[in-house]
Amino acid sequence: MIAFDHVVKRYPNGREALAGVSFRIAAGEMVFLTGRSGAGKSTVLKLIALIERPTRGTVLVAGKNLGALPSRRIPAYRRSIGVVFQDHRLLMDRPVFDNVALPLIVAGSPLKETDKRVRAALDQVGLLGKERMLPLELSAGEQQRVGIARAVVSKPTLLICDEPTGNLDRDLAVEVMRLLKRFQNVGVTVVVATHDIHLVQEHESGQRTIVLDDGRIQGGAGEEPLPSIVASR
């Protein structure tokens, strides 16, 4: 599903965020990316979401070489993945329904289909009935669940999450992690970047953890046999 091969990422200011990183993530796997702040976790996610391109090396996602993907094909690629952020990135002046529907609107989904899928996504994250509320009327945990619903509404095969529990208390964080695990259980590949090592330890059963430090892999890169959890969706 995802393969990083000797990936180097150097930013215009000269900082080298990744120094020859190689790892593999199989389809349907749930992987934690962990490490200290500045270790390179977010850069890995940026490369997967095609927010950045590698300076050197190869990033393959579902067989696509992202470094060589033409700019005009980036929107279509992004429509095939789901992204969850620590700060939710919700449109605060739009109701929950519109926020969750956004990827479907962008993809040109018919209105009836959009309505059906938004309600299904909200049901999955336990927010059905709150579709007319504005994000500001929701708790932090609920806002994060809206962000997750938006990420999964178009049924992506890959879900990447950048510090999805960073702003949440312990109970809400556990709730969000259970939710992500449920998506993995139906075959979605889930990559979670977090610096919360305790959270990782609580949920790493059956999951793999890739540890990054100063732009280098410190463990879990996939030398060990990959779990075969590729379920059909």
Site residues (vs another protein, CB under 8 A): 42, 45-46, 49, 51, 72, 75-80, 83, 85, 89-91, 102-103, 105-111, 150, 162
> What is the smallest separation between the CB atom of 53 and another protein, expressed in angstroms?
11
Shortest distance in whole angstroms from residue 227 CB to another protein: 27
Least distance CB 224 / another protein (angstroms): 28
Cβ proximity to another protein, 14 vs 110, nearer residue: 110
For another protein, which is the closer residue by CB, 131 or 163?
A: 163
**In the complex, what is the shortest distance from the CB of residue 206 to another protein, in angstroms, rounded to a whole number?**
27
CB of 75 to another protein, least distance (A): 4
**Amino acid present at 13:** N
Q: Which is nearer to another protein, 26 or 189 (CB)?
A: 189
Q: Both tokens of residue 84?
A: 């969850």
In this structure, are strands 56-61 and 81-85 parallel, antiparallel, or unpaired?
Answer: unpaired
Cα separation of 167 and 151, whole Å? 18
Q: Cα 140 to chain center, whole Å?
A: 18
Q: What's the rounded Cα separation, in Å, for the pair 92 and 22? A: 38
d(CA 129, CA 233): 26
Nearest distance from C-beta of residue 102 to another protein, angstroms: 5
Residues facing residue 190 across a β-bridge: 30, 159
Indicate the burial class of 213 (C-beta count within 10 angstroms; 0-12, 13-18, 19 or more).
middle
Q: Closer CB to another protein, residue 152 or residue 173? A: 152
d(CA 97, CA 118): 7
- The DSSP secondary structure of 34-55, one letter per residue, reads E-STTSSHHHHHHHHTTSS--S
- Please say which residue, 42 or 184, places its beta carbon nearer to another protein: 42
Taking the least distance from each CB to another protein, the nearer of 88 and 203 is 88
Question: CA-to-CA distance for 76 and 79, rounded, in angstroms?
Answer: 5
